[in-house]
Homo-oligomer: A and B are copies of this chain.
Amino acid sequence: MLFFTQCFGAVLDLIHLRFQHYKAKRVFSAAGQLVCVVNPTHSLKYAPTRCAAVQASTEQGILPPCHHHEVVHDPQLVPCTCPLFSCPWEGHLEVVVSHLRQTHRINILQGAEIVFLATDMHLPAPTDWIIMHSCLGHQFLLVLRKQEKHEGHPQFFATMMLIGTPTQANNFTYRLELNRNQRRLKWEATPRSILECVDSVISDGDCLVLNTSLAQLFSDNGSLAIGIAITTSKVHSSEAEM
């Protein structure tokens, strides 16, 4: 009996995934891009944030687990950088990806341009949508977060972090693009290094920021599609080019 119940559950899951993928393909039918359906995770590690904890431990003279805007020149032990959990893991930068995949079950996608389809945007804050993106010989972490900076007014924050050092991150540009309902919003920036705190990038607002009404305009049936592209060229040197 238990076997049949499990089988039925698996079939339902498959139908749900098929439906999500169909929905994504409908949104990006002409694009021919790889669409990744990303389900939300209710974050377990807010209040106090990791960065607040870091600040407290720095004040007490304890080695901080998260270096904000600090360059790590040599391969050293780094803490787990998963934005979802306060994880005690430490390891070399080279094994962060396998830790995130194996322990935190974060999916990884290949390709220069992909579409990140975040489902269930209506879920209450705080909620995160996370994937890793493998591209140009490096891995990136894309974080979309729903958070209330002002009570009762949730906002969406999206950023991309390189799983590498800040020096390596400076060689890339990432682009996030929303396109629906006769509106288009593009954000281009240099990715931050995963050694910097994703929490501080989001609390500084130095990322793509969407209020709820804009997120609704860009979403289709509760799902938000974000086009992602990564390039190596330093296009920003000509800042005047508009």
Shortest distance from the beta carbon of A212 to any chain B beta carbon, whole Å = 8
- Judge whether A241 is part of the interface by a CB distance below 8 angstroms: yes
Q: What are the interface flags for A90-123 relative to B under an 8 Å C-beta threshold, 1 for contact and 0 otherwise?
A: 0000000000000000000000010100000000
**Residue in B closest to A151 when the chains form the complex, CB atoms:** B150
- Judge whether A206 is part of the interface by a CB distance below 8 angstroms: yes
Residues of B within 8 A of A187 (CB): 183-185
A sample of 8 cross-chain residue pairs with beta-carbon separation below 8 angstroms, ordered by A number, consists of A28-B242, A30-B238, A31-B240, A150-B150, A184-B188, A184-B236, A185-B188, A205-B213
B214 and A242 form a contact (CB under 8 A): no
Shortest distance from the beta carbon of A156 to any chain B beta carbon, whole Å = 12
Across the interface, A113 reaches (CB within 8 A) one of B173, B213, B239, B242, namely B242
Q: Which of A62-108 contact B (CB under 8 A)?
A: none
In the assembly, how many copies of this chain are there? 2
Q: What are the interface flags for A223-242 relative to B under an 8 Å C-beta threshold, 1 for contact and 0 otherwise?
A: 00001000000001011111
Q: How many residues of A contact B (CB 8 A)?
A: 41
Please report the C-alpha to C-alpha distance between residue A33 and residue B209 in the assembled complex, in whole angstroms: 28
Residues of B within 8 A of A181 (CB): 239
B205 and A211 form a contact (CB under 8 A): yes
**Residue in B closest to A31 when the chains form the complex, CB atoms:** B240
**Residue in B closest to A234 when the chains form the complex, CB atoms:** B182
Q: What are the interface flags for A150-163 relative to B under an 8 Å C-beta threshold, 1 for contact and 0 otherwise?
A: 10010000000000
**Residue in B closest to A240 when the chains form the complex, CB atoms:** B30
- Judge whether A221 is part of the interface by a CB distance below 8 angstroms: no
A29 touching B240 in the complex, CB below 8 Å, given contacts A150-B153, A184-B187: yes
